[in-house]
Structure 1
Amino acid sequence: MPAESSIPATGAGTVGVRRRPADRRAIILDVAARTFSVRGYHSTTLEAIAAEVGISVPALYRHFPTKYALFAETSRTLADVLKGSLATTPDSSNPHTTLDNLLRALAETTLSHRGGGLYRWQSQFLAPDDAEYVREVVIGQHRRVRAAVVASRREQQLPAASKAQADALAAAAISAAGSPSTHRAPLAAKQAERILVTNSVRMVGLDLPDEADARSHPTESSGLAPASKREVILRQSIPLFAQRGFREVSIDDIAQSSGLPASGVYRHYANKAAILHTAFWRANDRMIAAIDDALARANSPVDAVTRLAASYVELCSDSAQLVGVYMVEIGNVAPDQRSELRKQQRRNIDEWASWVVQSRPVLTLGQARFMVHAALSIAFDLTRVPLPAPTALVSALICEFLLGDAR
């Protein structure tokens, strides 16, 4: 888990005098964004935020009467920052320049607000009016970037994209530009911005696969249920966590869905957190197996990256609920377990990054890590929506982003 910064409560050079910063509310919102983003809504406490800011809990209550009030205003504020960054980015007579400028503004905003992805993972906890407020900002962002994508492809005399393809291209570019909100990998801001924008612009100029060939594989039957009661419980829990949220699901709910008494669940798992922990390690095991399989079949660094991308997209597509629960509910496992999960995730990313560097030696390992985080974000964002983009298209977009001219 990334280290959290500390904001001093007293002014520099002050001895024995506690001064109240004029922008304390803004400081609280900034700390809240980072804390909610890292720990999740339910695992964040006002006590933790107050301690980080350097004030008492009663002082925090003077600004925000409840945790939800703080969460809602944090989400709205981040949405306003995003909206403002695009509002101050004018269109250019050159569509390619417009697209570049929009993605640069998004990348700059995200790099300045690394907790800014809060509404991406935690929006399910917003009340309807707050969720709608954020949703309208996100929709407006998507439409403007999509228009720039379509105009840029036309200006470059590339084949016209269908609406579905244009939506996927815009979503992928936005996902890449906003990916620093999903991780804490270090890289100088200017380097990160250049890496994200340059490769995102290149990605939306992709020679699109034929839609008939790129269609997502048909939904197959769920198959047979496992005989092991432990596996039945695990399989039934993930959809419940995905649909309702971890905190809203009880052991009785899980037992009923699994066709067992509550005591039957407790025979296999000590509590709900143990189920969540097991599910997350199952996801990590699948990721490790997918990496091993991709590398075993690859015959060059470029082929390795291509196969890694395809295997991860398939994993996200086939396990969308599990991946989604991981992103939203990671804060509900014990800190030591969360730390181990994130260590393994970093090892997986380093494996990807090493093959990206071997494919494009001009990149540093730090730059490649940033790009891999963006690639994983693209895969997640484009496969978790109600009408996911075809897996072949998502894989092609990621390969274009990661490999560029090396392909």
Structure 2
Amino acid sequence: MTVRAGTSTSDTSQTVAPGIRRRRPTDRRRLIIDAAAKAFSDGGYHAVRLDDIADAVGISAPALYRHFPNKYALFAETTAVLARSLRSALDAVEPGGDDELRELLVAITAASFENRRTGGLYRWESRYLAPADRDLVRDVVVHQHRRVRAAARRLRPDLRDADANLTVAAMTSVAASPTTHHSSLPAREVTTLISDAAFDLLDVDLPDPVGPPAPAAHGLAPAAKREIILTEAINLFAARGFRDVTIEDIAHAAGLPASGVYRHFPSKVAILEAAFWRATDRVTAAIAEALADASTPHEALVGMMRRYVRLTCSSTDLISVYETEIGHATPEARDALRHQQRITVDEWATWMSRERANLPITHARFLVHAALNVVTDLSRLRPQPSPERIEALSARILLGGNATPTAPRSRPSASDRPAAPGSP
């Protein structure tokens, strides 16, 4: 992980003119928290050293320890600051107002964009928190869901509980999507574009929920030792996290001695990177198949999304590992994988701009990231929604007004709207 160094690496290394007392910044604690949030978000909790954070702020490690006794204390505080920031943004919106839903989505989007360099911390790294600190984050997430759901049901009182919960999960996923990438647009444009896309999901008529699918036949396991190792490693990384899995664990799961693993992979990181490329190659193949079957941009987008949803729903462990463990890859591998991701997003965005003639490709990239984020987030819900329900929501983001039309719905006026149902 690369952390930008500050102007000095210790409190005493700067030269100060005689008779002039060097001032310590009054907001040093905040500077430390900001630098830590970026570092944890980019590299993951275990990969970050406190010395890196001290260098980024321009202080010595002992000076940092005067504010935080250890790395976990700093990590917990950075997560709490982000959670409290989101809570403040939500609480600034008046409950029960006619435009509450739109205002909430604008607030979440604006907070996400403002904290996009640190969003990975809030999104993925909270699994390392102790129970009390994790509860603080969870309380904010639950509060956010209930506020958005209550506002949505005032506008659509016909929504069943399951539909309301799924739609709201998709809305908040869209609003949070700027934290998942580094595409560039002015903040005001992003806030309008993304909050509008989230709000539009309110009108999606979801297919009826279906019962749990019949257990899939697993078929035969691969015979090649390398494939067995990779399959078992993905399962272990998804279940326990990369850091807590050893080569010996992988070897045992694969029915091999540790030396057998090393004959195929030089290190645990090499196994992880092979899993990342496996996920990337499957997405690339799915796009190629969809384009081969399409004759219009609309058909291309529908086919790409359909295949992507089914790939994600059937490979949740692989996708989860890609999303949560990327910080453990080498910098060279991360750069190569992110380059391929940009190529993939540009492919989607190109077909979006052809289907939606007035949509600039810079805006299309943000919407592609939002749609893919919805697929990832909803596929991780338990129980997992059906692919058809996930596809209905994600396709609306891509296609906008060109999505499959539904029966027109007249929204009740403020005076006609019933009171929101009570939250559980």
TM-score bracket relative to the smaller structure: over 0.9
Identity of aligned residues (%): 47
Q: Deviation at 1:388?
A: 1.7
Q: Deviation at 1:400?
A: 0.9
Does the alignment pair 1:69 with 2:65? no
1:167 matched to which residue of 2? 165
Does the alignment pair 1:225 with 2:236? no
Decide whether the 8 Å contact of 1:295 with 1:308 is kept in 2: yes
Does the alignment pair 1:295 with 2:291? yes
Does the alignment pair 1:177 with 2:181? no
Note the 1:254-273 alignment, pairs <5 A: 254-273=250-269
2:32 matched to which residue of 1? 28
Q: Deviation at 1:144?
A: 1.2
> Residue type matched to 1:399 in 2?
A
Note the 1:32-47 alignment, pairs <5 A: 32-47=36-51
SS of the residue corresponding to residue 77 of structure 1 reads helix
CA-to-aligned-CA distance 1:235-272 (integer Å, 9 cap, x gap): 00111111111111111111111111111111111110
1:350 matched to which residue of 2? 346
Decide whether the 8 Å contact of 1:252 with 1:262 is kept in 2: yes
Q: Distance in 1 between matches of 2:356 and 2:51?
A: 46
Decide whether the 8 Å contact of 2:44 with 2:125 is kept in 1: yes
Q: Deviation at 1:218?
A: 4.0
Q: Distance in 2 between matches of 1:313 and 1:59?
A: 48
Question: Would the alpha carbon gap of residues 6 and 377 (structure 1) be closer, same or farther in structure 2, given more than 3 Å must change?
Answer: farther
Decide whether the 8 Å contact of 2:42 with 2:120 is kept in 1: no
> Residue type matched to 2:141 in 1?
V
Q: Deviation at 1:348?
A: 0.4
Structure 1, unmatched stretches of 5+, are 155-159
Q: Deviation at 1:161?
A: 2.4
Structure 2, unmatched stretches of 5+, are 404-424
> Residue type matched to 1:153 in 2?
R
Q: Distance in 2 between matches of 1:15 and 1:220?
A: 70
Q: Distance in 2 between matches of 1:380 and 1:45?
A: 30
Q: Deviation at 1:376?
A: 1.1
Pick one of 87, 110, 115 that aligns with 1:113: 115
Q: Distance in 1 between matches of 2:24 and 2:318?
A: 44
Q: Distance in 2 between matches of 1:281 and 1:168?
A: 30
Decide whether the 8 Å contact of 2:209 with 2:385 is kept in 1: no
Q: Give the number of equivalent residue pairs.
A: 394
Note the 1:66-215 alignment, pairs <5 A: 66-94=70-98, 97-114=99-116, 115-154=118-157, 160-212=158-210
Q: Deviation at 1:34?
A: 1.6
Question: Would the alpha carbon gap of residues 7 and 205 (structure 1) be closer, same or farther in structure 2, given more than 3 Å must change?
Answer: farther
SS of the residue corresponding to residue 108 of structure 2 reads helix
> Residue type matched to 1:146 in 2?
R
Task: Answer 1 or 2: which has greater helix percent.
Answer: 1
Q: Deviation at 1:223?
A: 2.2
SS of the residue corresponding to residue 243 of structure 2 reads helix
Q: Distance in 1 between matches of 2:178 and 2:48?
A: 21
> Residue type matched to 2:67 in 1?
H
* TM-score in terms of structure 1 length: 0.92
Note the 1:355-394 alignment, pairs <5 A: 355-394=351-390
1:341 matched to which residue of 2? 337
Q: Distance in 1 between matches of 2:397 and 2:223?
A: 42
Pick one of 401, 412, 417 that aligns with 1:405: 401
Decide whether the 8 Å contact of 1:216 with 1:392 is kept in 2: no
Q: Distance in 1 between matches of 2:258 and 2:309?
A: 36
CA-to-aligned-CA distance 1:182-240 (integer Å, 9 cap, x gap): 1111111011011101111111211222334xx67544133211101110010001111
Q: Deviation at 1:18?
A: 4.4
> Residue type matched to 2:195 in 1?
V
Decide whether the 8 Å contact of 1:216 with 1:391 is kept in 2: no
SS of the residue corresponding to residue 111 of structure 2 reads helix
Q: Deviation at 1:15?
A: 6.8
2:410 matched to which residue of 1? none
SS of the residue corresponding to residue 268 of structure 1 reads coil
Question: Would the alpha carbon gap of residues 100 and 295 (structure 1) be closer, same or farther in structure 2, given more than 3 Å must change?
Answer: same
Question: Would the alpha carbon gap of residues 15 and 313 (structure 1) be closer, same or farther in structure 2, given more than 3 Å must change?
Answer: farther
Question: Would the alpha carbon gap of residues 46 and 92 (structure 1) be closer, same or farther in structure 2, given more than 3 Å must change?
Answer: same
CA RMSD, Structure 1 to Structure 2 (Å) = 1.9
CA-to-aligned-CA distance 1:283-305 (integer Å, 9 cap, x gap): 00001001101111112111211
> Residue type matched to 2:209 in 1?
E
Q: Distance in 2 between matches of 1:32 and 1:217?
A: 43
Question: Would the alpha carbon gap of residues 201 and 7 (structure 1) be closer, same or farther in structure 2, given more than 3 Å must change?
Answer: farther
1:157 matched to which residue of 2? none
CA-to-aligned-CA distance 1:12-45 (integer Å, 9 cap, x gap): xx97564321111111111211221111111122
